């Protein structure tokens, strides 16, 4: 008697192999495992289970999952029920939607919006028969969505990306001559540019208003590394913004605003000036923090082992040796770290040098932040050197 293969499994295999590119034996191993077979059965038979995701692990084996996983390391394929009902051998094609899912879903969303949704809704032939007001509003909204995706993609990468007005998107370097700029720009173009200037102002204001002391203000205990990372990221971000503001398309926006005598032209000048000043500040601070970073890295490697320096009272002429301490003696044993004081002194000297010579890191608000973070660093180092339950400094040695 021949057993008819389940067409539902065959359908899933065809779709999954097309997207994931696995060998046929991988599928046989997948459905050969009882736990996987039970998982597929649950997906087919239970109406409330609506999502199945298949991925490949590091060894190339197929891994099934009910529902979308929290994270993916490789590309996956998903199957979603169009209705919360069972999937049988008659409705499996009509009641299942499928597609591939990227390990970077936000990037995938951005690509879908920019390459698919925007292209479809930005073509007049796709909106034939629609009222003009509706079609114009949809074009406006889809362009806004595209800009939001563009900005969000930059934030994920730690950069502030500045969207450009729709009518300027198709311009390239060959079209940057002044002859192409109308003497009186139409109101729609001017409005789009002015709206973008407002958005840029808000984006750049958010970048410049961030404070490296925020973690301290939030009650946390940041280390100096947080300060270094903040200024490194700020410098990279402001460089990115500065480069964008010097691109040919932005130069064209400048010319249009000047010719139209727009009230937003001074606002754009202020934006550029603020970015330039912020970039100068970040460059200066990153430069002066480099030697401090080196000194702190050396301090982290310091020896926290302790020796006892024995002091005595000179008028009494009493002396005592290590290991011969007597409570009745005027000798005073003092615990001393072998290396740490020298490194702390070096770090403080470096901070003093920064205070004296840096153009932008010589204010109390800046130095107080790094000093508090330095204290946190020392506390953490002591905590690591002294396990819980162990006294520090270690007791003075006896005979």
Q: pLDDT, tens digit, for every residue of 114-144? A: 888 888 888 888 888 889 899 889 888 988 8
Answer yes or no: is pLDDT of 5 > 80.
Answer: no
Q: How many CA atoms lie within 13 A of 362 on its CB side?
A: 10
How would residue 384 be classed by pLDDT, with cut points 50, 70 and 90? confident
386: left (phi over 0), alpha (psi -120 to 50) or beta: beta
The predicted pLDDT at position 246 comes to: 95
109 and 36 inside one domain: no
Q: What percent of the chain has pLDDT over 70?
A: 81
Relative to beta strand 96-101, strand 332-337 is unpaired
354 vs 108 pLDDT, higher one = 354
Give phi and psi for 98, each to the nearest 5: -140, 165
Q: Which token pair is 346? A: 């070096």
Query: What are the b/e assignments for 142-161, b being 16+ CB within 10 Å?
Result: bbeebbebbbebbeeeebbb
pLDDT tens profile 82-96: 999 999 999 999 999
Token pair 């930005």 is found at: 122
The predicted pLDDT at position 391 comes to: 59
Answer yes or no: is pLDDT of 294 > 90.
Answer: yes
99 and 109 inside one domain: no
Output the CA–CA distances (angstroms, integers) from residue 1 to 4, 8, 40, 76, in the order listed.
9, 21, 25, 37
Q: Would you say the pTM of this structure is higher than 0.85?
A: no
Domain, as residue range, for 329: 298-385
Whether 40 is in a domain gets the answer: yes
Q: Please state which of the ranges 40-54, 296-310, 330-344 shows the lowest mean pLDDT.
A: 330-344
Chain-centre distance of CA 211, in angstroms? 17
Whether 224 is in a domain gets the answer: no
The predicted pLDDT at position 8 comes to: 94
Q: What percent of the chain has pLDDT over 90?
A: 57
68 and 36 inside one domain: yes
Answer yes or no: is pLDDT of 48 > 70.
Answer: yes
79 and 111 inside one domain: no
Output the CA–CA distances (angstroms, integers) from residue 148 to 155, 196, 345, 372, in the order listed.
11, 12, 49, 38
Omega prior to 393 cis, within 30 of 0: yes
Whether 398 is in a domain gets the answer: no
Q: Please state which of the ranges 43-57, 346-360, 370-384 shows the lowest mean pLDDT.
A: 370-384
Q: Please state which of the ranges 176-180, 204-208, 273-277 shows the lowest mean pLDDT.
A: 176-180
Output the CA–CA distances (angstroms, integers) from residue 344 to 178, 289, 299, 347, 376, in the order listed.
60, 16, 7, 5, 13
13 and 66 inside one domain: yes
Q: Last residue of some domain: 139, 157, 175?
A: 157
Q: Last residue of some domain: 135, 157, 179?
A: 157
Token pair 């051998």 is found at: 89
Answer yes or no: is pLDDT of 172 > 70.
Answer: no
How would residue 222 be classed by pLDDT, with cut points 50, 70 and 90? very high
Q: Please state which of the ranges 181-190, 205-214, 270-279 shows the lowest mean pLDDT.
A: 181-190
Answer yes or no: is pLDDT of 175 > 70.
Answer: no
124 and 143 inside one domain: yes
pLDDT tens profile 302-336: 766 554 454 444 444 444 444 444 444 555 555 55
Whether 17 is in a domain gets the answer: yes
Whether 263 is in a domain gets the answer: no
The predicted pLDDT at position 40 comes to: 95
Whether 212 is in a domain gets the answer: no
Cα separation, 230 vs 210, in Å, equals 9
Across the chain, mean pLDDT equals 85
33 and 56 inside one domain: yes
List the one residue out of 16, 102, 109 whose CA is nearest residue 63: 16
Number of structural domains found in the chain: 3
Q: Which token pair is 286? A: 């990153």
Q: Which token pair is 171? A: 């311009």
18 and 70 inside one domain: yes
Cα separation, 161 vs 151, in Å, equals 5
Whether 64 is in a domain gets the answer: yes
Whether 150 is in a domain gets the answer: yes
pLDDT tens profile 357-372: 999 999 999 999 999 9
Q: Last residue of some domain: 61, 79, 103?
A: 103
Answer yes or no: is pLDDT of 210 > 70.
Answer: yes
């Amino acid at each position: 008697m021949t057993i008819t293969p389940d067409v539902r499994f065959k359908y899933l295999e065809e779709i999954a192999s097309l997207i994931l590119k696995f060998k046929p034996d991988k599928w046989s191993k997948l459905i050969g495992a009882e736990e996987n077979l039970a998982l597929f059965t649950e997906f087919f038979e239970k109406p409330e289970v609506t999502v199945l995701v298949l991925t490949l692990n590091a060894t190339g084996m197929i891994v099934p999952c009910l529902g979308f996983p929290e994270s993916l390391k490789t590309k996956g394929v998903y199957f979603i029920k169009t209705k919360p009902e069972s999937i049988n051998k008659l409705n499996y094609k009509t009641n299942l939607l499928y597609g591939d899912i990227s390990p970077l879903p936000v990037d995938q969303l951005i690509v879908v919006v920019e390459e698919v949704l925007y292209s479809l809704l930005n073509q007049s032939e796709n909106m034939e028969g629609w009222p003009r007001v509706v079609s114009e509003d949809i074009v406006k909204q889809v362009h806004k969505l595209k800009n939001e995706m563009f900005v969000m993609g930059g934030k994920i990468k730690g950069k502030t990306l500045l969207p450009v007005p729709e009518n300027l998107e198709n311009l390239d370097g060959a079209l940057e001559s002044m002859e192409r700029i109308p003497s009186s720009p139409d109101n729609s173009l001017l409005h789009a540019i002015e709206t973008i200037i407002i958005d840029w102002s808000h984006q750049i204001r958010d970048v410049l208003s961030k404070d490296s002391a925020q973690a301290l203000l939030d009650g946390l205990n940041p280390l100096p590394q947080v300060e270094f990372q903040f200024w490194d990221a700020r410098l990279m971000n402001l460089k990115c913004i500065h480069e964008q503001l010097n691109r040919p398309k932005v130069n064209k926006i400048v010319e249009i605003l000047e010719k139209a005598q727009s009230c937003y032209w001074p606002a754009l000048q202020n934006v550029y000036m603020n970015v330039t000043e912020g970039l100068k500040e970040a460059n200066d601070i990153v430069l002066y923090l480099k030697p401090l970073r080196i000194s702190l890295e050396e301090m982290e490697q310091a020896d926290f082992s302790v020796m006892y320096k024995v002091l005595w009272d000179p008028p009494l002429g009493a002396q005592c040796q290590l290991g011969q301490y007597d409570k009745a003696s005027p000798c005073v044993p003092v615990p001393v770290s072998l290396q740490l004081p020298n490194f702390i002194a070096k770090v403080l000297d470096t901070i003093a040098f920064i205070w004296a010579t840096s153009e932008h890191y010589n204010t109390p608000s800046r130095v107080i932040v790094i000093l508090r973070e330095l204290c946190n660093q020392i506390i953490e180092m002591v905590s690591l050197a002294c396990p819980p339950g162990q006294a520090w400094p270690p007791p003075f040695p006896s005979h």
